[in-house]
Amino acid sequence: MKNELEQLKEEFLKGLEDVSDSLGLEDLRVQYLGRKGRVPLLMKRLPTLAEDVRKEMGQLGNEVKRTLELAFTETSERMQARERQQNEQAQWIDVTQPGVRPELGHLHLTTQAIDEISTLFARLGFVRVRHPEVEWDHYAFETLNMPKSHPARDEWETFFIGDGGRVEEGEKGKIVLTPHTSNGQVREMEKGQLPIRMININKTYRRQSDASHVPMFHQFEGLMIDKGVTITHLKGVFDFFVKEFFGQNREVRLRPFHFRFTEPSMELDITCGVCLGSGVNEGVKCKICKEGWVELGGAGMVHPNVLKAGGLDPEVYSGFAFGWGVERTMAMKSNLNIDDIRVLYRNDLRFLEQF
């Protein structure tokens, strides 16, 4: 037994020299000094020895155990100090060295435009509201004085919601992805809170895709209803917005038009921000305007039938409404030079990081 104890001590001390990390050191300790280690197992044989030998072997066993524990502790402390130093060197930071500036994102150009538009109309007392973008055609068309035969209610113009090719219908007609934010007009009137001065900015959907249209885009709808509202108020809102949003050098023209939900109706045009009204960009016909003017959006005085649909008496109340595309409006800014609004949603960082 004495020889076995001496052999275990030599093997353990040799193992300490060969171990390279804390994990290996702990494995060595468990192998020799753990509860089921080689030294404790050897010491369990003491009761089988003669009484005179048992005492001597017991003392020797305890000495060997203390020697191994002391050697383990010293080795562990040295190894921990070495590993700590290595970690400190690996994690050392030179605080005098210039850091690497993190890349910071920013709001999308469309979101920036929405914030600016909201702020401008807030200065005129317009309160921002939200109305559904998945809508009944009752609010998207019917209450806006648009009969069932109107071309805008054709599936080639509007996205209808259906299952397996069958268009869903409910208590208020078919379900559509709203093609315009005008769906909020009668919804706002139904609240019964007058006067109304709202701005509704939301996603809208139409089956169109070209340099000035995308299938999903954003519109902002303005609605003002009160006693004595006239077209003069509408013209004042136009003048304020165009000058504040586009700049003092942009020209405006009102062009008679026809909308089912306004009477009289008009289109608001401004000089093109790409060709600056010349109709020519880099020697060729401007892709955006073709002739120097671009359509900003439609507007007019709220049709009496729409007021009635909202539960208001057109003999008492009047109002105006307008609806413009956010992307088109933003693209018309001078010096922005966006000649195809589809680029806004192509996720091209070379373009987006400029703004």
289-310 pLDDT, tens digit per residue, is 788 888 888 999 999 999 999 9
- 28: CB partners within 8 A, 6+ apart: 12, 15, 16, 19, 72
Average confidence (pLDDT) over 237-247: 90
Residues 125 and 62 in one domain: no
CA–CA gap between residue 272 and residue 246 (Å, rounded)? 11
CATH code, 225: 3.30.930.10
Query: How many Cα atoms are found within 13 Å in the side-chain-facing hemisphere of 283?
Result: 0
Residues 75 and 199 in one domain: no
Dihedral sign computed on CA atoms, order 187, 189, 191, 197? positive
Residues 124 and 272 in one domain: yes
| Number of structural domains found in the chain | 2
What value, to the nearest 5°, has the Cα angle with vertex 174 and ends 216 and 180?
A: 35
Residues spanned by the domain of 235: 109-130+186-352
Is 80 exceeded by the pLDDT of residue 212? no
Q: Looking at the domain assignment, is residue 249 inside a domain?
A: yes
Instruction: Look up the pTM and report it.
Output: 0.65
Residues 118 and 46 in one domain: no
Q: Looking at the domain assignment, is residue 307 inside a domain?
A: yes
Query: How many Cα atoms are found within 13 Å in the side-chain-facing hemisphere of 155?
Result: 9
Residues 258 and 345 in one domain: yes
CA–CA gap between residue 310 and residue 302 (Å, rounded)? 11
Q: Looking at the domain assignment, is residue 195 inside a domain?
A: yes
Q: Looking at the domain assignment, is residue 137 inside a domain?
A: no
Residues 328 and 238 in one domain: yes
Cis check: omega of the bond before 304, within 30 degrees of 0: no
Q: Looking at the domain assignment, is residue 346 inside a domain?
A: yes
pLDDT tens column, 72-122:
888 888 888 888 888 888 888 888 888 888 888 889 999 999 999 999 999
Residues 16 and 121 in one domain: no
Residues 236 and 314 in one domain: yes
Residue type, 79: M
Residues 192 and 71 in one domain: no
Q: Looking at the domain assignment, is residue 20 inside a domain?
A: yes
pLDDT level of residue 271 (50, 70, 90 thresholds): confident
